[in-house]
Amino acid sequence: MAVRPDLVARTAPVVVRARWLHGVLEREGAFSWIMLAPGVLFLLAFVAYPFFYGIWLSLQDRPVAKPGVFIGLGNFVTLAHDGVFWQVTRNTFVYTIVTTVLKLLGGLAMALVINQHFRGRSLVRAFLLLPFIVPTILSTVAWMWIFDPTFSVINWVLVNAGVVSGGFSWLGNKTLAMVSIIIVNTWRGIPFYGITLLAGLQTISPDLYEAAAIDGATVRQRFLYVTLPIIKPILIIVTMFSVIFTFSDFQIVYALTHGGPANATQVFVTYAFDLGMSGGQLGMGAAAALAMLPALAVMIVALTLYLRRQS
């Protein structure tokens, strides 16, 4: 039978190429890098590049839609001489530290409560996580109404309970505005701590508690010497995550107070937003955002190392 030469000539290279490709894909290194390439290139282009471009921007006087002028550390010097910048730094630390302590205590309490046996426990757990899953801006809208100067339900309760004669201006008073954003951040964060810590508590074997009880340990001793050591790694990781994201929070502050009144609740990100976006000073805004970097870098490096050690 005659073989049609053109057919052979056309298919042979395809087979060779397919085999070659197959051979390459079987090599571990080649297969790995082909799989990694799209994701890694994407992250390089849209995380690494903007990050370094941000550093470059922070060294320029760069109004929006105009070419930038290199001014070295000029933006940082200007910020360092601005009282608002230091107020922003203080606000951010107060906001982060106070909410973290409250979320940690509240979350631990929540975890211990739900870790007991009772009917409907998984349903309760599902409902308690709602503040964390609902889009932050939308739940903050409800809080804006709760804190409304005239129609605040908190004021209504306080006045009707006879605690105060007139209501508070929650978002208009400098101290109370800070208290308000702390309340909302804590409210949203407690379930995150609570549910993650609960998962940690559930890894503890009941035998350990029974052994401790037989040895005559009190409830407090059981908590300190059995519970706490076992959930410590989770406690540390959850706290560090939460600190990083609270330190760089934007949504709650932007929606509730816009950083006001008179910068009393201005934090790094809302400040950078005001300078860079509302004010159109991209260079100054980038510098204000980068001012977060030293503190963040310490936490990010610590957490990255800790996570790698754990795994």
Partner 1 sequence: MIDGRGWGSRILRIYLPVLGFLVLMLFPFYWMLIASIKPNRELYNARIMPMIVYQPTLKHYYDLFADTNFLLWTYNTMLVAVITTAISLILGAMVAYPLARMNFPGAAIVAIGVAATYLVPQPLLFIPMADIINKLELGNTLSAVMLTYPTLLIPFCSWLLMGYFKSVPRELEEAARIDGASRFQAMWRVVLPLTTPGLLSAGIFAFTLAQNEFLYALIFLAKSEVRTVPVGAITELIRGDVFYWGQLMAAALLGSIPVAVIYSFFVDYYVAGLTAGSVKS
- Residues 141-170 touching partner 1, rule: CB under 8 A, are 141-146, 148, 150-151, 153, 156
Q: How far apart are the first and last CA of the chain?
A: 64
Task: Identify which of residues 178 and 289 has a Cβ nearer to partner 1 in the complex.
Answer: 289
CB 1 to partner 1: min, Å: 31
Q: Is 40 in the site for partner 1 (CB under 8 A)?
A: yes
Q: Is 102 in the site for partner 1 (CB under 8 A)?
A: no
Q: Is 195 in the site for partner 1 (CB under 8 A)?
A: yes
- Give the integer Cα–Cα distance in Å for 110 and 255: 27
Q: Is 262 in the site for partner 1 (CB under 8 A)?
A: no
Q: Is 300 in the site for partner 1 (CB under 8 A)?
A: yes
Tokens of 212: 């401790």
Task: Identify which of residues 10 and 121 has a Cβ nearer to partner 1 in the complex.
Answer: 121
CB 87 to partner 1: min, Å: 18
Q: Is 220 in the site for partner 1 (CB under 8 A)?
A: no
Please pick, from the candidates 47, 72, 175, 220, the single residue that binds partner 1 as defined by CB under 8 A.
Answer: 47
Task: Identify which of residues 51 and 225 has a Cβ nearer to partner 1 in the complex.
Answer: 51
Please pick, from the candidates 12, 18, 25, 101, the single residue that binds partner 1 as defined by CB under 8 A.
Answer: 25
Judged by CB under 8 A, how many residues of this single chain contact partner 1?
107
CB 178 to partner 1: min, Å: 19
Applying the rule CB under 8 A, the residues between 199 and 218 that interact with partner 1 are 199-200, 203, 206, 209-210, 213
